[in-house]
Structure 1
């Protein structure tokens, strides 16, 4: 295995990953979840000009769970990005953002009766402390009573297996529930090839199999490496071959 001390070029690239989007998500076994989210996003644009027309709760309330690296956070970020591109209000919540929770609870009543979609995303539900758990319980009650507030939540286990209070676990299951899965090696290679193609980056055939055997195997780090290779290839004016990859990953 390669030394975990990565070169400066790669470390810097990790600080500015490309914007997550549904189009850049390779579903693997998660096609039903991706299809559902795409349909919801398509409906947001239509609903911005509609009035007095409510969505079914299971189209506004979705929880998905799976292991780290299975795309949980990517999908939440992609939905937030899609909402913001349409000019919709988006609130991003997590276990380490207490001010965001307070701000949302203050503003939420003004969105409850609105016909314009608004979006809440909650990451790492399994890691919420007691204060955030209480806030999420109150927020879910408001979402249930609303016309067009959408809430998307992600965690590491099914609602019934989360170590949270029972009334919150029950509410997490009121909408749709999906399980996200890790990509297998062939699917990872396909996703990385797609990412390279989008960047106009040509990889020699032996690069990706070598990386999966010698480098980190999680998709966030692998995708970040594709960006680092893209930048390094442009900087050195060299094709992306194994010698260039080894040079980039050589600890300084």
Structure 2
């Protein structure tokens, strides 16, 4: 397997990468989570209340966890994009942008008083530093008492095994919890075929099986390769065949 650094062509300026959405997510073993998110979006579209269950937070408080490449970040971006398309307020939070957390906290009391849904996503919960852990703790406490704020969080492990303070780990599990799973080889090929079609790429039949045997097997790198193939095919005005793929991956 080729585990050397990606070749120079991966640095090409690529502007046609499809935005992550629920429609272009291949669920595989993540069908339960995918279906739950789709149902939530439908309830936002119709402004219809969802059936009340044993835990009301289940309707607007979800944490999912799994290995890198299992769709964690894709689904967070997808639910955020769906919220924006419907005109809902959307706050994406990551460990790398602490200013976004400050801005959200400044608006939190106003959001809690609204009946209109708003959406918060928190990626890479496992990488939060002490300050952001305290911030997320305050945010979750506020959301618990609100009526319409939805929060979606993702990390690399189940709440109980995260190396975070105990009171936050407990709160992460107050709503629904899902584990995300990596795609099998057949599912990866299907997902890559969908990605190619979304970019208008026609791949020769031997390209994808060859990539799975010779290239990185995780979906982020494989999707990055779809982008690079797209750009390189346009640059060279050639079809995406195995010789072109080998040429792209040849270290310069």
Instruction: Report the TM-score, using the length of structure 2 for normalisation.
Output: 0.92
Aligned counterparts, 1:125-164, within 5 A: 125-164=125-164
Structure 2 residue 101 is matched with structure 1 residue 82: no
Aligned counterpart, 2:244: 244
Match of 1:172 in 2: 172
Q: Does 1:217 align with 2:189?
A: no
Quote the offset at 1:6 in angstroms: 3.3
CA offsets 1:127-177 (integer angstroms, 9 cap, x no match)? 111111111111011111111100000011111111111111111111000
Cα distance change on mapping 1:16 and 1:128 into 2, 3 Å: farther
Q: How does 1:1-252 map to 2 (within 5 A)?
A: 1-2=1-2, 4-12=4-12, 17-47=17-47, 56-252=56-252
SS in 2 for 1:23: coil
RMSD: 2.1
What is the number of equivalent residue pairs in this alignment?
A: 249
- 1:10: how far off? 1.8
Any idea what SS the aligned residue of 2:33 has?
A: helix
Contact 1:6–1:250, Cα closer than 8 Å, also in 2: no
1:234 deviates by 2.8
- Counterpart CA distance in 1 for 2:116 and 2:159 is 29
Does the C-alpha gap of structure 1 residues 8 and 80 become closer, same or farther in structure 2, counting only changes over 3 Å? same
- List gaps (5 residues or longer) in structure 2: none
Give the deviation of 1:81 after TM superposition.
Answer: 1.3
Per the alignment, in what secondary structure is the counterpart of residue 200 of structure 1? coil
Report Cα offsets for 1:182-209 as digits up to 9, x if no partner: 1111110111011112223221111001
Moved more, 146-155 or 194-203: 194-203
SS of 1:186 mapped into structure 2: helix
